[in-house]
Amino acid sequence: MVNPESYTYVVMAELKPTMFDNCTFCKKEIQTNVMKIRCPICNFWRHMKCTQMINSAIGADDTICPNCISTILPFNGIQDDEEFLYAISGNSSIANVDYDKLSRIKLELHDHCDAKRSVYEENLDADTNYYNTHFSSTASYLGTDQINKILLNNEPKLQSLLHINARSLAKNRHNIITELSLLNNQFSVIGMSEIWTKQDEVNPDIPGYSSFIKSRPNCKTGGGVGLYIKNDLYPKAKLRDDLYSDPLYESLFIQINQPGRDALVGIIYKPPDVNLDEYNVAFDNLLKQLSNETKPCFILGDFNINLLKHNMHKPTENFLNMLLSYGYYPLIDKPTRITTDTATLIDNIITNVHEMQLTSGIWTVDITDHLPVFLILPQNQRSKPHKVIINKRQTDESRICSFKNELSVQNWDEILKDGDVNEKYDALMKTVHKLYDKNFPLISHTLHVRNIHRPWITKAIRNSIKKKSTLYKKFLKSRTQAALNKYKIYRNKLTAVLRKAEKCYYASKLEAAKHNLQKTWKVINTIILRKKAETGIPSVIQNNQTVNDPKEMADIFNNFFANIGQDLAKKIPKVDANFRDYLTGSIPQSIFLNPTTACEITTIIAGLKNSDSKGYDELSVCLLKKCSYELVLPLTSIFNQSILEGTVPDQLKIAKVVPVYKSENRSLVSNYRPISVLPAISKILEKLVYNRVIDFINEHNILNDSQYGFRKKILYIYGTYRSY
């Protein structure tokens, strides 16, 4: 921490008359004949007597005024702040702000649904008695730490929902991600209203979530709704665009597959200028269709209907009565948009779930002027932290040297003898794999996966975010202009610090990766929010049945990829032309494949493109290059035997095939393309044969002069010149 009083200032005496501004501390005019100093940051002057001094000689760079210190270092003196000490000590007396005023402003039903009347009153209507049990549990204002105590489970099923009025997702995306990163577990579904996206734009990404987005048509500004579903829950969600929609509001619904009954989750935004009577008619049609679904339903959104005024505004009362008539009821009963002058309940979560105890509340974070609202379904137990166990080989330089040394002392006499090429290659691989497993053993690593990781948010910054939240809670409690100004000043300083921390983090990452283009682009893609392609395949559909077993899925992909060539060939129309018609004529000379040498193989290995990708044999090109001297003799013998017999070793024909997703439905194998990774050693044999064949073709001028593609030193642009 920096104390402004610890700064030393240098006295500046002016001998010539000069015009000075007023002192930045006492605001009085600075005379030319008095001692004064100037801040090198803001260039404003102040009286020497207005400055605390320490008698030591330091350069002029240390004459920064206290105001600039406070601006540059927003957490200066924070160790003396009483609220900060409470926060870091874990004392909850400050964090648990008393919301007496806001608690008195809440949704209270009357007449047919008066929650204050006795639940067991004899003359009370049965429906009233029933709904009283639901309205008796009220929503609470909770901070991040308090939500972490109740948001316990993180399993891939619908367990919690959150609604955020984004007020431009592009503008507030970083604030949303920062607040979400402070949660120990993820919300299952996040509904966002007023995202302000356009149809021709890329959907904004939230780490750990996949999205369904619905923007306003014809690229109109404003509005827009979206549903963000946890990545492990996303495969179970499907869009329900068949549900009723109306131009009076914006809506988006999904259906989530889960044990028992599927659940419907929707997001709705009603613009404030829409006539409420007309909206009630449209919303009634939607509720009628939802009721016919007979599924548990959760509707999140900004309805722009202040339910606190239902007893004095007839259309609002009609809206609430309509909900109750279909078995739906609101879960939020306290103001969600609070200013210095108003407190309204316009954001809500509406549900038809009656048979379980639901926990709802209002999250006191300052993402926008609308407070987020949440719902947590009953959770049986606290989930364990998400861990991923991976098996990884250690390939440091010392282990590579040990591997090379053991290869160099091996006796290759059996392989150097004439014999079957498959037996020779199998013997080589047996020795190589034995030494490979010995020097590069598989080590199990446990990765603790965080939901949303913001590595530049240090412990100190987390404490500062807590203080900002405390100041925001104080404003919500008092609703005074002074509390609002104090909160905004601290918020702006914290925003500057967060941006600086993020900038420094990525700058260090780019500096560390400046000699590696692949790692550099990885950092750049993270900065520009380019979404990483999902690699998991949870299930596939075969004969209208869902298959989840990994072995069965592998067999399905294998059969599809193995037969796709034949299936496509059958669709090619037959023609009378023969491939010989396109050749220049018969060549009397026969092609002869010369034996290779150790020097040629070494040259070919050195010319291979560096790659860490591995075939089924786990040998990469990079490792092969480092061990080329030790392996060149047995490889020379094997390749010469292969050329002599005209046989490729069987192990070199085995490819590791990876299905790569293209587009549309992830459960259909036809929406994947195969990427085959052959053993790195097969590239050497391929190059050997290629060099001999291409030399023969060029020597006898077999290819047509107009063949420009895939020919060395012949550019395709030559064909363009010839066409002119």
Domain of residue 273, CATH code? 3.60.10.10
Please, are residues 204 and 229 in contact by the beta-carbon 8 Å criterion? no
Domain presence at residue 387: no
Strand 672-677 to 337-338 pairing: unpaired
Do 443 and 324 belong to one domain? Answer: no
Please, are residues 289 and 244 in contact by the beta-carbon 8 Å criterion? yes
**pLDDT value at residue 336:** 93
- CA-CA distance, 186 to 450, in Å (whole number)? 10
Q: How many residues does the chain have?
A: 724
**pLDDT value at residue 18:** 42
- Residue that has been written with the tokens 């010149």 in this structure: 721
- CA-CA distance, 625 to 629, in Å (whole number)? 8
- What is the token pair recorded at 708? 């420009």
Residue bearing the bigger pLDDT, 475 or 527 = 475
Task: Give Cα separations from 197 to 173, 204, 299 (angstroms).
Answer: 12, 8, 21
Domain presence at residue 381: no
Please, are residues 375 and 358 in contact by the beta-carbon 8 Å criterion? yes
Q: Where are any strands of DSSP class E within 457-547?
A: 540-542, 545-547
Please, are residues 149 and 361 in contact by the beta-carbon 8 Å criterion? no
Mean pLDDT of 311-326: 91
With cut-offs at 50, 70 and 90, classify the pLDDT of residue 452. Answer: low
Number of H helices, E strands in the chain: 21, 23
Task: Give Cα separations from 474 to 94, 305, 341, 478, 489 (angstroms).
Answer: 10, 26, 15, 6, 14
Domain termination site, one of 73, 89, 114: 73
Mean pLDDT of 343-368: 90
**pLDDT value at residue 54:** 32
**pLDDT value at residue 720:** 56
- Residue that has been written with the tokens 């794999």 in this structure: 433
Domain presence at residue 412: yes
pLDDT tens across 184-226, in order?
A: 889 999 999 999 988 777 778 888 898 999 998 877 788 999 9
**pLDDT value at residue 34:** 80
Chain centre to alpha carbon of residue 324: 38
Q: Please check the confidence at residue 85 and state whether its pLDDT lies above 70.
A: no
- What is the token pair recorded at 547? 């298959």
Q: Please check the confidence at residue 251 and state whether its pLDDT lies above 80.
A: yes
Cα end-to-end span (Å), the chain: 74
Residue bearing the bigger pLDDT, 688 or 395 = 688
Do 304 and 444 belong to one domain? Answer: no
- CA-CA distance, 612 to 618, in Å (whole number)? 10
Q: Quick one: what percent of the chain has pLDDT higher than 70?
A: 80
Identify residue 351 by its one-letter amino acid code. Answer: T
Do 109 and 201 belong to one domain? Answer: no
- 35-39, 547-551, 628-632: the lowest-pLDDT one: 35-39
Do 432 and 579 belong to one domain? Answer: no
With cut-offs at 50, 70 and 90, classify the pLDDT of residue 282. Answer: very high
Domain presence at residue 187: yes
Do 232 and 336 belong to one domain? Answer: yes
Please, are residues 295 and 257 in contact by the beta-carbon 8 Å criterion? no
**pLDDT value at residue 121:** 45
Strand 359-363 to 140-142 pairing: parallel
User: Taking phi first (over 0 means left), then psi (-120 to 50 degrees means alpha), and beta for anything else, what does residue 481 get?
Assistant: alpha
Do 595 and 719 belong to one domain? Answer: yes
- 39-43, 164-168, 267-271: the lowest-pLDDT one: 39-43
Nearest to 56 by CA among 4, 8, 6: 8
Mean pLDDT of 441-445: 84
With cut-offs at 50, 70 and 90, classify the pLDDT of residue 722. Answer: low
Q: Please check the confidence at residue 5 and state whether its pLDDT lies above 80.
A: no
Q: Please check the confidence at residue 87 and state whether its pLDDT lies above 60.
A: no
Q: Please check the confidence at residue 100 and state whether its pLDDT lies above 60.
A: no
Please, are residues 220 and 250 in contact by the beta-carbon 8 Å criterion? no
Domain termination site, one of 494, 515, 532: 532
Do 422 and 515 belong to one domain? Answer: no
Do 649 and 548 belong to one domain? Answer: yes
Domains held by the chain: number: 6
Range of the domain at 172: 141-376
Domain presence at residue 384: no
With cut-offs at 50, 70 and 90, classify the pLDDT of residue 91. Answer: very low
- 3-class SS of residue 444: strand
DSSP symbols for 382-426: PPPPPEEEEEEE---HHHHHHHHHHHHT---HHHHSS--HHHHHH
Domain presence at residue 385: no
Element (H, E) at 83: helix 82-89
Mean pLDDT of 44-65: 56
Highest mean pLDDT among 22-36, 81-95, 457-471: 457-471
Do 440 and 517 belong to one domain? Answer: no
- CA-CA distance, 442 to 112, in Å (whole number)? 69
Domain presence at residue 353: yes
pLDDT tens across 104-139, in order?
A: 566 665 444 443 343 344 444 545 555 555 555 578
Do 89 and 159 belong to one domain? Answer: no
pLDDT tens across 367-408, in order?
A: 999 999 999 998 655 555 556 677 888 888 999 999 999 999
Mean pLDDT of 36-61: 61
Do 559 and 421 belong to one domain? Answer: no
Domain presence at residue 703: yes
pLDDT tens across 327-340, in order?
A: 899 999 899 998 88
- Residue that has been written with the tokens 């067999």 in this structure: 555
With cut-offs at 50, 70 and 90, classify the pLDDT of residue 6. Answer: very low
- What is the token pair recorded at 418? 């004439």
Please, are residues 615 and 678 in contact by the beta-carbon 8 Å criterion? yes
Domain termination site, one of 327, 346, 376: 376
Mean pLDDT of 571-582: 79
Q: Indicate which CATH number applies to the domain containing 46.
A: 3.30.40.10
Give the predicted TM-score (pTM) of the model. Answer: 0.61
Pseudo-torsion of CA 321, 325, 327, 328, nearest 10°?
-30
Please, are residues 681 and 619 in contact by the beta-carbon 8 Å criterion? yes
Do 307 and 406 belong to one domain? Answer: no
Contacts of 482 (CB under 8 A, 6+ apart): none
**pLDDT value at residue 271:** 94
